[in-house]
Structure formats: structure tokens, C-alpha cells
Structure 1
């Protein structure tokens, strides 16, 4: 069912939230655009101007690692200034109310944690850009450590323990999806009675399979996205409106 207008859609969503015992949100880039984080995939987005650097290229080439870190630090101000938007805050309100056990996200911006979710309850399918890890031993590094070593000559540093490259703790193209997070997301999708996909184009697999998994397991499926998705026809409710306006009424005190 596609909501005929915003008010009707929000009322229907409110009824579904009230009736649900376990709600699992699945968030994509659209929920963070109101917070000032660009949607890299959209027309005019960063990835249309700069070809993404794949994982294999990052591992093989010092030049690719240098460029990858140059791009990340060029985005420093954007990520530093971002604050949770209405969508994040609405989900955090439902989380505090006990309706949401955890959030599954394709985003890397840490805004769900900033909105009030415990870090353990944010299932990051594509990792997190606010810190770094060694791709060899997994040692965590803060971005300030990387920046201090990168800035003098623009060379990406290696791990002090095993000498393997250090990259943002994100999942790059060609890099394996995190097994534990994928398993936990699948379990949540199959245990909830309401699954809400928010701000995702639902074209990036295997993550895009979770809404269908939830639906197959008997959950109601809601899709909130400005653009049409390939899963609209199986959803119980589709709201093609601004995410902040749609979820704003659910922001608690």
C-alpha cells in the first residue's frame, strides 16, 4: 500500500508501531542527509565524481591508500559537524521505549550511536568511518593517530604491530561483509513483527535481502524512501516522503 498523503501515511505507521512488539529498523543513506551527510551513490554524489577505491586496490597500492585517506580527511568537517536528524532521534525514542532491540544500518557515520543507541545495538553492515583498523591484525586506531602520521607527507601509515595497511573501519567494495553482523541482522529480521526500511534504495546486496527475509518470516514491512524501490510491491506500507517529516512525529522527549 502506497500512502496517498503524508498525514494518512504517518497515521497508518503510528498504528503499526503501536501494534508491534518488536520493531527492527534498517537504515540507509537517506536518513542521514538531513544531518548533512551526503548520499554518495545518488546522482551528483561523491562516487559520481570520484571512482570508489576497491579493497583489493587499497591493499595493493600505496598510492590508492594515500588517496583513500586524503578523501577521508577531506570529509572531516562534514562528519564532525553532523548531528542526529529527526529520523535518528525517532528511532532512538522507540529504542528507549523498548520497541526496538537494535538497528541495522548501511551507514558508516556513527549517528545512531550519537542519537542514543548503545554501540552494541547498532549493527553496522558497512562498518564505521569514525575510527580505523589494521586490515591484518585488526588493531584499532583513532583517526587522530592516522592524521598525525598522514599529514606531513600525505603517506598512509601502516600498523605499528604487524606493518599491514590501516584503513577506516568501513567495508570497501570487494571486501567481505562482516559475518557476525550479517548473522545478527538475519536473526533480527526473522524475529521481528515490524521491519522498517528507511532511506535505502534496497539495491545493495546482500543487505537488501533483509526486508524480504523479515516479510517471509511473517513481519509487516514498511518502506520509507523518497524514491521508488524494487521492494515496494511487497511492502505493507510505502511512504515516499521526506524522512524527517515522516518520522518527526515519533521523536520523544
Structure 2
């Protein structure tokens, strides 16, 4: 019954805008931030203002990131990523908007995709604007902080790690290798930072062309993603969600399937 409901909706809406969230990546070992009630499971992530304004915050961030990269840097696409890449190949996706920063949709083969919050595998200098691979920075962090490399910390969302009770002031963070002095920041949108206008405009233009909106593995509790559900509702377009738990858009949805997002999408991709 559930699969038939989804199949009928897919048949009635041949060209989709898709918004994905952390639920697409939990099966490959990347933790999420929220529980099924949409509440925080852990302390909120570092804000843009704190990262930019406090050297100790940056040291703590990069120390935890150095350990968290063990999981994030090796993660491979799961069923949801592969299914959405297949649906794109079948001509069913106008644009895939991901709120994740792990790059796994691109790794799975999705080409018509938008990394709304940026990519964690890239680092940007806040002075000269040059970018470098996160894997390159990892080697520099390990070389400067060999003692920290021996520590264990459980993986946390977005390449973070649960490392506490350390004196982070001793951690060494390299400057930009291009300009030699610039501050390095992950090329992602932090809390308290705005999504670049051109990304929002690209997503809104794709929504205009789409027949319906599919929310996959996201509670949409963050406004940067929720705005597209609001826009779809204003345009009179059908919205559905595949998500285990509440979403901020529940009252806008035609229906919601509380089931494994990878399983559901793979069934649809194979049936299309």
C-alpha cells in the first residue's frame, strides 16, 4: 500500500525538485543532528560568528575535525544517493538540492545537484579566497599535531568528532598555504551564516520548472531548506516527504512516509 502510494505520486509528477538531508547519509556512518521529534541530539554546531571571532574556537573545531575526517573522508554513497542518481539518469529530477555537506550525491553520480550549504571536502582562505582540498589540509594538521592523531573520538555530524576535556590551546592550525597568513575555514555555510544568494535563486528557478517537491531524509528544521517547501506550497505544487520523524513542513505535505529513505527511493528508481 505504501509503495503503491509512492509509485502513484511519482507517476503523477514526472519531473521533481528533491531536497535531501542527513537521513540520506546516516546509513553510511555519518551521524545526524536531530531525533525523530526534530530536537537536537547534541549541542548545536559552532556558529560562523564564534569561528571567525575566537582563535580557541577555531583550534577546537580543527582538532575535532582532524579526528572526524577519518569517517567523513572515507564515506561512500549509500542506497539513497545511488537511487537519486539513477532517478536523475531516468530524467526524473529537475534539480537535487542537498543540505548535506558530505558530497555523496556527487560521488554517486548525481550531476544536476546543488550543495546548498557547501562542501566539507573543500577549505577556503578567508583572506585571499583561494581554495584547497580538505585532504591536503588533513596532512598538514596531522604533521603539526601528532599527539592529537593518537586520540579516539566518536564521529559526529558534518565531519566533526566528540572530543572534549582537552586543552585545545595547544593545537596548531596552519595558515593558508597560498598567501601564508590567511585564516582557513571549511567551505560550508555555518550556523549564523547566509546561503549565497545565487544558490537560492538557482533552486527557486528549478522549483518553478518542477512538477512536485520530494523531501528525502530531512526534517527541514533549518530555514535554508524549509523555504523551498514554503515556496512550493505557495505555487500550489504537491509536496511529499520520506522521513523517519516529524518535519517542519508536515502541515504542507500531501503525505509523508515514515520509512527508510534509501529503501523507498531505490524501490522507486528500479520500478521507474
Which residues of 2 match residues 2-17 of structure 1 at below 5 A?
8-17=1-10
Give the Å deviation of 1:48: 4.9
Taking a change above 3 Å as real, the CA distance of residues 241 and 55 of structure 1, as seen in their structure-2 partners, is same
Match of 1:249 in 2: 267
Match of 1:108 in 2: 101
Taking a change above 3 Å as real, the CA distance of residues 56 and 225 of structure 1, as seen in their structure-2 partners, is same
Structure 1: distance between partners of 2:256 and 2:141: 45
Match of 2:212 in 1: 194
Give the Å deviation of 1:38: 0.4
Q: Counterpart of 1:102 in 2: which secondary structure? A: strand
Match of 1:139 in 2: 130
Taking a change above 3 Å as real, the CA distance of residues 49 and 21 of structure 1, as seen in their structure-2 partners, is closer
Give the Å deviation of 1:19: 2.7
8 Å Cα contact 1:189-1:211 kept in structure 2: no
Which residues of 2 match residues 1-253 of structure 1 at below 5 A?
8-42=1-35, 48-49=41-42, 52-118=45-111, 121-151=112-142, 152-153=144-145, 154-159=171-176, 160-161=178-179, 163-252=181-270
User: What TM-score does the superposition give when structure 1 sets the normalisation length?
Assistant: 0.87
Structure 2: distance between partners of 1:144 and 1:203: 30
Taking a change above 3 Å as real, the CA distance of residues 141 and 246 of structure 1, as seen in their structure-2 partners, is same
8 Å Cα contact 1:158-1:165 kept in structure 2: yes
Q: Deviations over 1:34-83 (max 9, x none)?
A: 1211003349xxx7555522112211222211111111121122113322
8 Å Cα contact 1:190-1:213 kept in structure 2: no
Give RMSD over aligned pairs: 2.1
User: What TM-score does the superposition give when structure 2 sets the normalisation length?
Assistant: 0.81
Structure 1: distance between partners of 2:34 and 2:174: 28
Q: Counterpart of 2:225 in 1: which secondary structure? A: coil
> More displaced, 106-115 or 146-155?
146-155
Q: Structure 1: which 5+ residue stretches go unaligned?
A: 1-7
Displacement over 3 Å in runs of 4+? 47-51
Give the Å deviation of 1:115: 0.9
How many pairs are equivalent? Answer: 241
Give the Å deviation of 1:252: 4.1
